[in-house]
Amino acid sequence: MRRKASLILLGFAVFFAALSPLLRFYAFPRLAKVPANQYQTMVLEAKGASVMDMAEGGVKKTDLSIVQTLRGNVEESEKIEESAGRDVVVWDGLSYAQDSDGKMVTMIPERYIFDAHSAEPLHATGEMADKQPVKREGLEFKWPFLTEKRDYKYFDARSRTTNTIFFKGEQKFRGLDVYYFEQTIDWMKVDFPSTMPGGYKISKEQLKASKTEMWYTTVRKFWVDPTTGAPVYGEEIHKEEMRGGTLVEGLAPGKDKLTVFDGHVKMREDFIESTVDLVKSNRVLVLLMTSYLPWGFLILGALLLSLSLWLEARSRRPGDDPEGSGERTPEPEPAGV
């Protein structure tokens, strides 16, 4: 009886030992993915920012609010999946900025198409940044699950270029162990936004004829939860200028450049709290598949193996009933003389 139990326990031990790496290295990469129907809103603010006043001319100080929405486009993702042969997420994004008087400063739409598992961008019709077709290289918005301690390529939507975002070390943020990343885009010439500040109306032909250029620089900072790859906090020191030409001369006579935007953009406090709470709950699900269950199954397999070997040893002890009945075999009596 003990030998039968030993064999059953040995079978379970092999099963759980094999399930451990299978769950971590086979099931997890296939099951962990960004949902295609995800919808999220983030509010950022830039207090005391300098913004160009297109109506009055010159620059004004204001408290800026930026509402950033990401909406999963399920219909488009399903279309792309048919040809791509993989799980795809399509995010339709919009950044809408308004000043303290409620007036629109700018509005920037995006469509970001990426692999649901690795977060790597995929190229398909409709991929764009500020209404301009792009071919993204590198990450945007989200890091991969199980983010590594290394530099990554990150797409900058304003300049529509890909640059390195550097891993700067580990930090604590609101009770989470996070990785801190930083990217600097040096001053560079960029296109004028599709929606001009304050809704200022000017055609592309007029912009070209004015010979005025738009220049941009930023320092981008992210604090990323390495388990889920989700940023829990972000900041951006963002500057834009118009330089030279008749447009600057008309808005600011006697000057050769004019500030379009200069501010330190940060996540609003209430959205920091909700983001951290969401990441904390999501990271438990990821840890179940990458750590808790694989290690638990491995330990359980080892315990079952030990118990199986112990029962097998008990069944082979001299004097024990080989079938495990508990009755000792009677010893033969010595023959009489």
CB 227 within 8 A of CB 283: yes
Domain hosting residue 136, numbered range: 32-267
CA distances from 65 to 44, 70, 262, 335 (A): 6, 17, 14, 105
Q: How confident is the model at residue 328 (pLDDT cuts 50, 70, 90)?
A: low
DSSP collapsed to 3 states, the chain? CHHHHHHHHHHHHHHHHHHHHHHHHHHHHHHCCCCCCCEEEEEEEEEEEEEECCCCCCEEEEEEEEEEEEEECHHHHHHHHHHHCCCEEEEEEEEEEECCCCCEEEEEEEEEEEECCCCCECCCCCCEECCEECCCCCEECECCCCCCCCCEEEEECCCCEEEEEEEEEEEEECCEEEEEEEEEEEEEEECCCCCCHHHCCCCHHHHHHHCCEEEEEEEEEEEECCCCCCEEEEEEEEEEEEECHHHHHHHCCCCCEEEEEEEEEEECHHHHHHHHHHHHHHHHHHHHHHHHHHHHHHHHHHHHHHHHHHHHHHHCCCCCCCCCCCCCCCCCCCCCC
The answer to whether residue 182 is domain-embedded is: yes
**Position 60 in a domain:** yes
Q: What share of the chain in percent tops pLDDT 90?
A: 52
Please, which pLDDT band fits residue 277 given cuts at 50, 70 and 90? very high
Whether the CA torsion 214, 103, 45, 38 is positive or negative: it is negative
Q: Residue 66 has what pLDDT?
A: 93
* Residue at 307 is within a domain: no
> Lowest-pLDDT range, 40-44, 96-100, 153-157, 197-201?
197-201
Residue 96 lies in a domain: yes
pLDDT tens string 25-43? 888 888 888 999 989 899 9
With a cut of 90, say whether residue 143 has pLDDT above it.
yes
Q: Write down the pTM of the prediction.
A: 0.85
Of the two residues 162 and 105, the one the predictor is more confident about is 162
233-262, pLDDT tens digit by residue?
999 999 999 999 988 888 878 888 889 899
The answer to whether position 272 is within a domain reads no
CA distances in angstroms from 143 to 196, 225, 245, 302, listed in the order given: 31, 9, 41, 35
Domains of the chain: total? 1
Does 276 reside within a domain? no
> 122 in a domain, yes or no?
yes
Q: What angle do CA 42, 108, 194 make, to 5 degrees?
A: 170
Q: Is the pLDDT of residue 199 over 60?
A: yes
Residue 26 domain-assigned?
no
